[in-house]
Amino acid sequence: PNLLMEPAINGDLTHNVTPPSDLTYSEMKDIGWLPSVLPKTIAVNAGNNQSTFTDSAFATPIKLAVTRAVNGITVTWTVNPMGGAGATFPSTGSRFAVSLTDATGVATAPQFIANSTTGAYSMNATVPGAGTTKFTLTNTTSDRIFADDFE
């Protein structure tokens, strides 16, 4: 059929890319390419505007939601340090991590730990097709009392 790797423009070419008019889709499917639907929007779902003590995990998981709800879309999480304040993902040992959306279009950031510097900073979540959203986070000083403080 005419469209698959046609070396020249001919008058009998059509815009129909489905068999039997064209084998392009079938050929791409045969080599492993599958059509996919990307989400169009991204929104904060949970965990925005929270704080934790330095060197501690955040209490509320960071979540986002995409619409169209698509399962298995990769979300890239990026901590943006500011003035030394930031956080690290133990799973990667860095300020970058990835997770996947579930069947409802919700993705949860892997656990991350605030560093030892106080202050506010942000974390971006980026989703192909939907863009980027931002979470605001703060590391605060610990007022916890340790047994060693009484020695």
Q: Calculate the CA dihedral of residues 94, 95, 98, 102 and round it to 10 degrees.
A: 130
Q: Name which of 46, 45, 48 is nearest 65 in CA terms.
A: 45
Using one digit for the tens of pLDDT, what is the confidence trace for 31-81?
Answer: 887 777 789 999 999 999 999 999 999 999 999 999 989 899 999 999 999
pTM, rounded to two decimals: 0.73
Which tens digits make up the pLDDT trace of 123-143? 999 998 899 999 999 999 966
Pairing of strands 63-67, 41-46: antiparallel
